[in-house]
Amino acid sequence: MKRKYGAARSRETLAERAEATAEQKACVHQQFKANVAVNRFEDTGRFLAEITVVCVDCELPFRFMGVPAGLGWERPSCSIEGLTLNAPIEPELVRVLQAGARYEMPKVDRVQH
């Protein structure tokens, strides 16, 4: 049985979504589907992109890591369960370079032979 995410997901309780199914645990998650909804707030003139990612094969949602929960206009944040990334965006009317950049390689456990 495949678990459905999307519109019906909001009616499920967190307890009902707490455990992945056996099919989802066995899946190797090789294909993905991303959904982006862009919201325009007419009263402020600002824009917010809401991004979700799910596995195409088992429909398990992916959690955004390293992003604080909440909502703000200065930096990306995520929903309380981490399944939706909220990213403030703006049209590129004037080209602006970011003040700084940071790149971090993921930690990999190396097996000694």
Beta bridge pairs of residue 38: 49
Q: Quote the pLDDT of residue 35.
A: 97
Rounding to the nearest 10 degrees, give the CA dihedral for residues 17, 1, 35, 31. Answer: 120
- Tokens matching residue 70: 């909440």
Q: Where are the domains of the chain?
A: 7-89
| Distance from the first to the final alpha carbon of the chain | 40
Among the residue ranges 2-11, 36-45, 81-90, the one predicted with the least confidence is 2-11
Mean pLDDT (the chain, rounded): 81
Confidence band (pLDDT; 50, 70, 90) for 106?
A: confident
Q: Quote the pLDDT of residue 70.
A: 93
Contacts of 89 (CB under 8 A, 6+ apart): 38, 47, 48, 49
Distance CA 99, CA 92 (A): 16
